[in-house]
Amino acid sequence: MSRNFFHIHLVSDSTGETLLTVARAVTVQYEGISAIEHIYPLVRTKAQLEKALDDIESAPGIVLYTLVDQDLNEQLEETCRNLGVPFLSVLSPVHSLLQSYLGTAATGRSGAQHVLNAEYFKRIEAMNFTLLHDDGHLPDDIEQADIILLGVSRTSKTPTSIYLANRGLKTANIPLILNVPIPEKILQARRPLIVGLVATPERIVQIRQNRLLSLNADEDTDYVDRDTVAEEISESRRLFARNNWPIIDVTRRSIEETAAAIIEKYRERRMQDVAI
């Protein structure tokens, strides 16, 4: 199927991450159409904006922007109108809603969401902890974790852990190996929320085969044997059931969906602890 392309210009006075996330979340919904992204971060002067406007004139398309400075806003909008290209201030509808509800105006600080506050340092600390505790490393201080993820190989433990760390949660992940007991310290852990990740044997085999292909490794191994993988999954499920650990099937879940389910379980756990 041939694809159609269009230009999308993302103009931001901050990092541009918000615009890029919104743009990709929407454009992916249009099958057969791809966006050619032009990103202009940290646009805070007229000279910087002029560069973006020149590109927009050279390659007309949709313009999405987040600019706090009113003069820059007006210059961008006037140029877009003159060029006949569609434009939208992505955060304006949200600001309008909040302002009408809260009865107060926004402060108008560029990149205010990226200030170095306590939440930022919490995420950095969580990321450092998570990287040091990836794939079963350093289990001795496991009681300091907020969350422990258990699962056989290729159940998305590492990327899910990284995502949770970005949300400020110290996350360790432990691989489960057939007929190999897990560290006793995991069984004794009381503070962390322990979550078991599973998937269908077919999905695990598929991911493992792709992994071996990327490494040019021999595929004649129990690692991708369907019966062996099914036994791994069954044993992991029995382990989770014996210890009453919540289970999440990641077969058809994205990393974001898996992390959201874990965060919800973590919040429920914290609320229970407070109630006690």
Q: How do the domains of the chain map onto residue ranges?
A: 4-113, 118-275
Whether residue 72 is predicted with pLDDT greater than 70 in this model: the reply is yes
Mean pLDDT of 236-241: 98
Spatial CA neighbour of 249 closest among 202, 186, 185, 184: 202
Mean pLDDT of 119-140: 87
Whether residue 232 is predicted with pLDDT greater than 60 in this model: the reply is yes
Question: In 88-136, which residue ranges form alpha helices assigned H by DSSP?
Answer: 92-102, 118-132
Do 4-113 and 118-275 come out as alike in CATH topology? yes
Write the CB contacts of 247 (distance below 8 Å, at least 6 apart in sequence). Answer: 195, 196, 197, 198, 237, 240
pLDDT on residue 102: 83
CATH topology of domain 4-113: Rossmann fold (3.40.50)
The annotated binding site is made up of: 151-158
pLDDT on residue 109: 57
pLDDT on residue 1: 45
Task: Give, in order, the Cα–Cα distances in Å from 118 to each of 40, 115, 192.
Answer: 28, 9, 22
**What angle do helix axes 157-166 and 255-275 make, rounded to 10 degrees?**
60
CATH topology of domain 118-275: Rossmann fold (3.40.50)
Whether residue 203 is predicted with pLDDT greater than 80 in this model: the reply is yes
CA pair distance 124, 101, nearest whole angstrom:
33
Which residue matches tokens 């003159």? 82
Provide the residue type at 142 as one letter: I
Residue 179: exposure state from Cβ atoms within 10 A (0-12, 13-18, ≥19): exposed
User: Please, which pLDDT band fits residue 17 given cuts at 50, 70 and 90?
Assistant: confident
| 113: its two tokens | 């969401």
The annotated binding site for ADP is made up of: 151-158
Whether 151 contacts 175, CB under 8 Å: yes
Spatial CA neighbour of 180 closest among 149, 217, 150: 150
